Structure 1
Amino acid sequence: MALSSMTGFARSHGASGPYTFEWELKSVNAKGFDLRLRLPPGWDDLEALAKKRAGEVLSRGTVYANLNVKRANAVSTIRINEDVLASVIKVAHALAGKIDAVAPSIDGLLAIKGVIEVVEPESNEEEDKAARTAAFAAFEQALADLVEMRRREGVTLGQVLSQRMDEIERLARKAEAAPGRKPEAIRARLAEQIEALLETSDRFDADRLNQEAIMIATKADIREELDRIASHVAQAREMIGKGGAVGRRLDFLAQEFNREVNTCCSKSNDIELTNTGLAMKNVVEQFREQVQNLE
């Protein structure tokens, strides 16, 4: 199974009877899955079907789905509400004898709310049912195109993430081979530290001296961190290779990478090892940013 991005776009068109329609789907990053539909009046029964189908093929991302519907030969007609008009004229005549005002004009009467009614053309139940079925089929096509686009983007992301793993492995090898980690370098630093400690007092406690030496040696050792980084790289490669909805797991792994690299930097007392650690931290951050786009 391939990796999938959470971003994508798709559009589909369809027609049934007098209806033509267009779906437009756009997905963006999100912690979970959410389908936000925008449907024209009278087409609300598509919502449950669309959400169920989208939930079957997508696990993360916010998807915005917009349906536009047009009906051919759907000409609205204008009808005068005789009862409302008669009531308005009656009131106008009653007021004419009480106040000095200009008689109401035709356009003024027609502008009164309720006098004119817009009558929509009658719908055909069979045509409407067939149109909704066709519209849902068009949604499924747009959804399939969206999934395919997200998968293509996921393939590209997988290649980028694999490159980041290569860089982390290279930097980890460089850190392991850093001169500051060699036994002779550690011994030299210990000798300097011991000399500095002895200069502070000619009666310095030998046990305390031994403890300080052990602490310095322990602080300089990043073997454990490098081993965990190697383990994280192996896990990341496995997840990238298997694919599927692994975005959350890779995001957690990115946090673990960052923790180990920070520890390496804090333990380092060698400039080359520090620079290597900072370079690795930058690559880990790039890895984390790309993982945010994965489903």
Structure 2
Amino acid sequence: MIRSMTAYASAEATGPAGALCCELRTVNHRYLELSPRLPDDLRSMESQLRERVAARLSRGKLDLTVRRTGDTRGSSLQVDQALLSRLSGLAQELEAGFPRLQVEFTELLRFPGVLQQEAVDPEAQQAALFDVLDRALDALTATREREGTKLAALLHDRLDAIERIVADVRGWMPEIRTALRARLESRLADLKQPADPGRLEQELVLQITRCDVDEELDRLATHVAEARRVLGLKEPVGRRLDFLMQEFNREANTLGSKSVDARTTNAAVELKVLIEQMREQVQNIE
């Protein structure tokens, strides 16, 4: 399944400490690069989160943001009555020596330990984080696969076009060789001294060998078949396709350098255009 590396997804879930929102944004990258932003109380789980993402994605620059959209712990505040009573008694004792001493109730509440927040079970917290992450990853993967289907269709179209060009060039080569022979014989006929027939054949073989592109056409056909095979694999194939684009380009360059006919020159240029279009799209495939 071809997957794009560019996508966006989000998911929400309710955990023991409130609602969590997870947003994922990915763009193309040579490797998997994760940039997480987590609430302070969830940062201790970053290493497990990275492992969970790496199990699902192999390439792409991923911006991962987890926000707490509602904190329910504030509704379960408890007051340490014993500590509050001791602080109140101490304030009354000090009031005799300091008549102007005034202690507000809110100041007592700010004293460390007076207000206690209900502790959240770490395992439940982790389960909530992984739940919202998995849901966001599911949505992200679905988006990447939809985009990947479009990319695969585009690549298949370009491969079809390359096959047509290869077939055209194969059909032209006998005519090109005949024209090359006639051109060489015409030039030799213009010479004042008769040419050695053996030398004529040697020169003809040399010229035909220089413009022979059968190997390049065969390799292009092989690369097309391999690209189609790779596109059908059930694993990340972006790097393989990127390597194949280099091989495609090498054969197109050689075909252009050997050209002795305007048709094959134009064919080489068209091949380069198609290959460059494919290469740009392959850069975005996982």
User: TM-score per shorter chain, which class?
Assistant: 0.7 to 0.9
What's the secondary structure of 2:156's corresponding residue?
A: helix
1:175 touches 1:277 (CA, 8 Å); kept in 2?
no
Alignment of 1:45 with 2:39, yes or no, is no
State the alpha-carbon separation in 2 of the partners of residues 168 and 46 from structure 1.
50
> What corresponds to 1:67 in structure 2?
66
Instruction: Report the CA distance between 1:123 and its aligned residue.
Output: 3.4
Give 1:272's match in structure 2, choosing from 263, 274, 280.
Answer: 263
Q: Does 1:177 align with 2:167?
A: no
Residues 7, 26 of structure 2: 8 Å contact kept = yes
User: Residue 241 of structure 2 aligns with which residue?
Assistant: 250
Q: Residues 192 and 292 from structure 1, CA distance in 2 versus in 1: closer, same or farther, beyond 3 angstroms?
A: farther
How far did 1:178 drift?
A: 2.4
User: In 2 relative to 1, CA 122–170 (structure 1 residues): closer, same or farther, beyond 3 Å?
Assistant: farther
Partner Cα distance (2:175, 2:50) in 1:
57
TM-score (norm 1): 0.76
1:147 and 1:227 map into 2 onto residues whose CA distance is: 37
2:94 aligns to what? Answer: none
**Alignment partner, residue 208 of structure 2:** 217
- For 1:124, the equivalent position in structure 2 comes to 118
Structure 1 unmatched runs, 5+: 77-116
C-alpha separation in 2, matches of 1:187 and 1:181: 10
Kept after mapping to 1: 8 A contact 2:32/2:59: yes
Write the distance in 1 (CA, Å) between the matches of 2:132 and 2:158: 39
Aligned-residue sequence identity (percent) comes to 37
CA distance in 2 between partners of 1:215 and 1:118 (Å): 97
Query: Which shifted more, 238-247 or 255-264?
Result: 238-247
Equivalent residues of 1:180, 1:270 under 8 A apart? no
Q: Give 2:28's aligned residue.
A: 29
Show the counterpart of 1:88. Answer: none
1:70-219 correspondence to structure 2 within 5 Å: 70-72=70-72, 74=74, 122-126=116-120, 129-178=123-172, 181-195=175-189, 198=191, 202=193, 211-219=202-210
Q: Separation in 2 of the partners of 1:4 and 1:146?
A: 10
Q: Secondary structure at the match of 1:242?
A: coil
Instruction: Name the aligned partner's letter for residue 262 of structure 1.
Output: N
Quick one: which amino acid aligns to residue 14 of structure 2?
A
1:104 aligned partner: none
**1:180 offset after TM fit, Å?**
7.3
**Deviation string, structure 1 residues 56-97 (Cα, Å, up to 9, x no partner):** 111111111001113147499xxxxxxxxxxxxxxxxxxxxx
Equivalent residues of 1:181, 1:220 under 8 A apart: no
Distance 1:36 1:272 in 2: 51
Q: C-alpha offsets along residues 185-207 of structure 1, whole Å, 9 cap, x if unaligned?
A: 121132245457x46xx497877
SS in 2 for 1:150: helix
Given that 2:188 and 2:195 are in contact with CA atoms closer than 8 Å, whether structure 1 keeps it comes out as: no
Give the Cα–Cα distance (whole angstroms) in 1 for the partners of residues 140 and 227 of structure 2.
Answer: 26
Q: Flag the 1:134–1:73 CA change in 2: closer, same or farther, 3 A.
A: closer
Q: Residues 162, 243 of structure 1: CA spacing in aligned structure 2 closer, same or farther, 3 A cutoff?
A: farther
How many Å separate the matches in 2 of 1:39 and 1:272? 60
TM-score by length of 2: 0.79
Residue 284 of structure 2: SS of its match in structure 1? coil
| Corresponding residue for residue 103 of structure 1 | none
For 2:240, what is the secondary structure of its paired residue?
helix
Contact 2:6 2:144 in 1 (8 A): yes
RMSD (Å), alpha carbons: 2.7
